Amino acid sequence: MASAAALLLQLQLLLLLSLSAAQPGFISLDCGGADDYTDGIGIQWTSDAKLVFGGQATNLPVQNQLQKQYSTLRYFPADNSKYCYTMNVRTRTRYLVRASFLYGNFDNSNTGQPFISTLELRQFNGSLYYTDYEAQFFLALSARINFGADGNKSVRYPDDPFDRIWESDSLRRANYLVDVAPGTERITTTKPVFVGTELEPPEKVMQTAVIGQNGSLNYRLDLEGFPGNAWAVSYFAEIEDLAPDETRKFKLVVPGMPLFSKPTVDVEENAQGKYRLYQPGYTNVTLPFVFSFEFKKTNDSSKGPILNAMEIYKHVQITMGSHSKHHV
3-state SS, residue 268 = helix
Nearest 10 degrees: Cα torsion 20, 23, 24, 30: -60
Task: Report pLDDT for 22.
Answer: 55
pLDDT tens track for 230-275: 999 999 999 999 999 999 999 999 999 988 888 999 999 999 999 9
CA-closest candidate to residue 282, choices 304, 274, 3, 291: 291
Alpha-carbon distance 234 to 267, whole Å? Answer: 11
Residue 248 is given by DSSP the state: B
Q: Give the predicted TM-score (pTM) of the model.
A: 0.89
Give every CB contact of residue 244 below 8 A, 6+ residues apart in sequence.
Answer: none
- Please tell me the CATH superfamily of domain 137-315, with its number: Galactose-binding lectin (2.60.120.430)
pLDDT band at 19, cuts 50/70/90? Answer: very low
CA-closest candidate to residue 307, choices 130, 145, 73: 145
Q: Which segment of 3-7, 23-27, 309-313 scores lowest on mean pLDDT?
A: 3-7
Bridge partners of 315, per DSSP, are 139
Give every CB contact of residue 290 below 8 A, 6+ residues apart in sequence.
Answer: 175, 220, 222, 223
pLDDT band at 137, cuts 50/70/90? Answer: very high
Task: Report pLDDT for 322.
Answer: 54
Give every CB contact of residue 83 below 8 A, 6+ residues apart in sequence.
Answer: 8, 9, 10, 52, 53, 54, 55, 76, 114, 328
pLDDT band at 112, cuts 50/70/90? Answer: confident
Alpha-carbon distance 78 to 222, whole Å? Answer: 32
pLDDT band at 210, cuts 50/70/90? Answer: very high
Give every CB contact of residue 113 below 8 A, 6+ residues apart in sequence.
Answer: 75, 76, 77, 78, 107
> What does the chain come to in residues?
328
CA-closest candidate to residue 141, choices 122, 127, 113, 118: 122
Q: For residues 179 and 185, is the Cβ–Cβ distance under 8 A?
A: no
Alpha-carbon distance 63 to 264, whole Å? Answer: 51
3-state SS, residue 33 = coil
User: What average pLDDT does range 159-168 have in this prediction?
Assistant: 97
Please state the domain extents for the chain: 4-123, 137-315
pLDDT tens track for 36-87: 999 999 999 999 999 998 899 999 987 667 799 999 999 999 888 888 998 8
User: What average pLDDT does range 96-119 have in this prediction?
Assistant: 92
Q: Could you tell me the sign of the dihedral formed by the alpha carbons of 38, 39, 42, 43, in that order?
A: negative
